[in-house]
A and B are shown apart, each in its own frame.
Chain A
Amino acid sequence: MTSNDIMKVRNIGISAHIDSGKTTLTERILFLTKRIHRIHEVRGKDGVGATMDSMELEKERGITIASAATYCTWKNHEINIIDTPGHVDFTIEVERALRVMDGSVLVLCGVGGVQSQSITVDQQMKRYKVPCIAFINKCDRNGANPDRVISQLREKLGHNPVPLQIPIGLEAEHEGVVDLVTMKALYFEDEFGQSVREAEIPEHLLDKARSRREELLEAASVFSDELTDLILEEAEIDAAVVRSAIRKGLVQRGLTPVMMGSAYKNKGIQALLDGFCHYLPSPFDHENHALDIDNNEASITLKPAATEPLVALAFKLEDTPYGQLTYIRVYQGQLAKADTMVNMRSGKKIKVGRIVRMHANKMEDVDIIPAGFIGALFGIDCASGDTFAAPGINVSMSSMYVPDPVISLSVKPKDHKAEANMSKALNRFVKEDPTFNTSFNDETGETLISGMGELHLEIYLERMRREYNVDIITGEPRVAYRETITRQAPFDYIHKKQTGGAGQFGRVAGHMEPAPDVDFEFDNKVTGGNIPTQYIAACEKGFQASMKKGPWMKFPVTGVKIVLKDGASHSVDSSEMAFQAAARGAFQQAYQKAAPALLEPVMKVVVETPVEFFGSVMGSLNQRRGMIVGSHDEGVTSAIEAQVPLAEMFGYATVLRSLTQGKAQFTMEFSAYKEVPRSIVEEIAKKSESSGAGAA
């Protein structure tokens, strides 16, 4: 593939708030680009479900869980699309999609506007410097107001939104859009809007279109001297000049082009596809970096050229009937069948076998994945996030941000037969999803699964039932509590053992103090060799080991600084083991005096509710030890933001549904660890005693 072709590649993500219509939009795109020949709606009457929602569970619940990758072609451009889930619990899927994308489409609901999850997704895009086009969907719905959404893009997300279109009619009268670049009206006709009819701008919209075009030109001219000159000369401005300026602005994340329509009513999709080609960056435009391991992890820029040595990233794993399927993006060089490449994490050489192009759950065999493209490999043993490179180079793509799990659940197979299947399923899920963990509690003999929220774990349990035929008995959801200390406390501990065998001797003295900004810090202030240098590391190890299970309530300890000031050793009996034991003893000795406190995960909860339920929703959050930060009134709806302990949020979805007749929805994401009030600590202590404690 030549560099010219790479210029016509678009790797894009489609992200948005729940129910903004991402999957519906993707379905339309696939239909119009002739990848599919029939449109199936999300929760459609035909019972087929949208093409991108290939998992049974996704079709049933009408939400996208795992992102599916697909590609299509439009006007000589190859578009690789990753459809991403909207629910916060599946945020890692969104992060992964953005990591391998050069550009993105932020789908916003024309009625709901910039909602809480749009804010989270936008922050993720900022983290990976992914430029985006905003698409205001659902312009056919009652209450649709694209102008309001545009001002929210500015105020809530800090974008520089530049509308490239204005709607022709809104709500039930939504017919099409006016393209402000070409100054033409676009109507989408036939059953599925396949035919685009270009016409003159309707008389009543002419003034608005002219003034909006002025604004568009002014915003775009910041990125193009040529356009500025043409404006100053009052010369005729060619559409190509305007598009080039918009593209420059977009690639620099200096402006966000705003397009609009209604995916469900098939309006504005072809224009959006044109927008992908005109404005979104190609792999050439978006700079990607890797770390040069031989050169102290210095950042190097990757060149998307076939002649360069291969650098590729495995960003998603999937277990299929034919074995593990690894989604991969090639950043540099090319990946060809029978080539040899190295997994940079394990150092293992791998021969490339079958290569496929994915289209949701269908696939096509190909021989090569060129630089800038996304594909999938069979028979490769690797973990999500692994870098593959040509033999002889030593680079790694920077690792992805992975949030810590905040909730856990004990799981037990119903019968002995199911045990093997459960372990097989858990192994697969852990490999696929870095935010999903499993652990085994030796004391209680329970297997614990941990993840990002109730729904996250619920989906995996359901998948175990359906895909692995495992009946599971689950315990109560458990919160990942942490212990910490709140004041300084001294220690002076001697570990001495002289009965039978070799003696053990070690003395450590110093203090522990709160260190709220770190997990653990160790400061060695021992002078005069009172503890020989070779045993200092053992002391640190001993203290650190004690952090795993707090002496108070058996939860992991965080935020402790140990200052080691003095000690003593014995020429014969001292050993690393003795000093490790002394450190553990010292930790126990000082810990109770350091006023331990219990910390719990507190979530940022945003409830979007019709205003008539404002009071009841507030009340429900207040009852849950929530601290209400504020509310934003958006006319008919109100978004209430609160900080609520995770422990109080179990089952909230059901409560909210019954409070608001199912008209409100909420999102929740981890915010911070905060101290648990004393009265609640006692309850938790009782519970953890009866269940064999912590280890969440």
Chain B
Amino acid sequence: MLKDIFNIPSPGKPEATPPADIIKPGEFAAILARAGVGKTALLVQIAINGILRGKNVLHISTGDPVDKVDLWYREVFQRLDQEDESLQIRKRKDELLRRRFIMTFETETFSIEKLKKRVNELISQNIFLPAQILIDDFSFDTVSTEALSDLKGFVADNKLSFWFTIRTHRDEPVGDRRIPTRLLPLTEWFDLMIRLEPDNERIYVRQVGVGGEDDDQAGALYLDPSTLLIKMTAS
């Protein structure tokens, strides 16, 4: 079932990742990939996975307008509907879309402080109570450790789980676990890191630093190149 495929298994400790939640409230996860590989597609599917399980999802984007982000959701919903009718997406579309809130910022005026303020307003006025926040194309270059620590505290206090996508570059130097060196100091903040890797006409979804990372053995996850939906290699 597609619904199950969304739950990214952790080959090292399968039972440690509950089938329903990829990360727990208060945790950070990151998706690392080069531009154009499918970070947003994966992020939207993670969001929809939450939405389908009744969770409210706040999608944040710096740069893209609301309409463009909305279009991603509509497209993924449509493709999922074509692939798995049992999800009843067409019938439930309005109800599902009510569980999603898109918040976009101008890149130059975005800050964690501002983000917290907006989310606080949503929560305190009971306008939208997110369980999961996803932020697309987050630049860690200008973020201080204090700001991250503050955000982690905020996320824990409000029982939110937080996903980031981080753009990597083809030729940048990498260190331990093939993580770009500029991102190495940040790894301790993340409870889960996922890498998208194009390989032999497929884009594999792999957990960073987990054994067998480079295998494309049975049961590996990948993005279908035609639909960008997550699929699992035949077992």
Contacts and interface: CB of A to CB of B under 8 A. Distances in A.
A630 B106 contact: no
B138 interface: no
Contacts of B121: 614-615, 618
Given A148-B106, A635-B106, A629 B66 contact: yes
B94 interface: yes
Nearest to B97: A627
B122 interface: yes
B213 to A, nearest CB: 35
B64 interface: yes
Nearest to A604: B67
Interface string A591-630: 0000000000000000000000011001100100001111
A628 B128 contact: yes
B118 A614 contact: yes
A618 B127 contact: yes
Nearest to A639: B66
B70 A630 contact: yes
Contacts of B98: 627
Given A156-B65, A615-B121, A630-B69, A635 B109 contact: yes
Interface in A148-175: 148, 155-156
B104 A633 contact: yes
B102 interface: yes
A628 B101 contact: yes
Interface string B155-166: 000000000000
A641 interface: yes
Interface in B59-102: 59, 63-70, 94, 97-98, 101-102
A127 interface: no
Interface residues of B, number: 29
A424 interface: no
A630 B101 contact: yes
A124 interface: no
Contacts of B124: 615
B118 A629 contact: no
Contacts of B208: none
B98 to A, nearest CB: 5
A627 B102 contact: no
A122 B98 CA distance: 28
Contacts of B97: 627, 629
B105 A633 contact: yes
A631 interface: yes
A622 to B, nearest CB: 6
B66 A155 contact: no
| Interface hub of A156, A619, A630 (most chain B Cβ within 10 A) | A630
B2 interface: no
A348 interface: no
A618 B120 CA distance: 13
A204 interface: no
B109 A633 contact: yes
A629 B106 contact: no
A321 B80 CA distance: 61
Contacts of B128: 628
Nearest to B106: A634
A109 to B, nearest CB: 15
Given A614-B121, A618-B122, A633 B103 contact: yes
A618 B102 CA distance: 13
B109 A627 contact: no
A634 B66 CA distance: 12
Contacts of A641: 66-67
B169 to A, nearest CB: 22
Given A633-B118, A635-B106, A155 B64 contact: yes
Contacts of B102: 629-631
A622 B63 CA distance: 26
Contacts of A631: 66, 102-104, 118
B125 A629 contact: no
A126 B65 CA distance: 19
Query: Which one of A614, A619, A632 has the greatest number of beta carbons of chain B within 10 Å?
Result: A632
Contacts of B59: 630
A674 interface: yes
A632 B101 CA distance: 11
A632 to B, nearest CB: 5
A634 B105 CA distance: 6
Contacts of A632: 65-66, 103-105
A155 B63 contact: yes
A628 B127 contact: yes
Contacts of A618: 121-122, 125, 127
A648 B118 CA distance: 26
A622 B104 contact: no
Interface string B103-117: 111101110001000
B70 A627 contact: no
B141 to A, nearest CB: 19
A501 B113 CA distance: 85
B94 A615 contact: no
B101 A155 contact: no
Nearest to B107: A151
Contacts of A628: 101, 127-128
A148 B101 CA distance: 24
29 contacts: A148-B106, A148-B108, A155-B64, A155-B68, A156-B67, A618-B122, A618-B125, A618-B127, A619-B125, A619-B127, A622-B127, A628-B101, A628-B127, A629-B70, A629-B102, A630-B70, A630-B103, A631-B118, A632-B103, A632-B104, A633-B103, A633-B105, A633-B106, A633-B109, A633-B110, A633-B114, A635-B109, A639-B66, A641-B66
Top 7 closest A-B pairs, CB basis? A630-B102, A630-B66, A615-B121, A632-B104, A635-B109, A633-B105, A618-B127
Interface of A: 119, 148, 155-156, 614-615, 618-619, 622, 627-635, 639, 641, 674
Given A615-B125, A619-B125, 8 more contacts: A614-B121, A615-B122, A618-B122, A627-B98, A630-B69, A631-B66, A631-B102, A633-B103
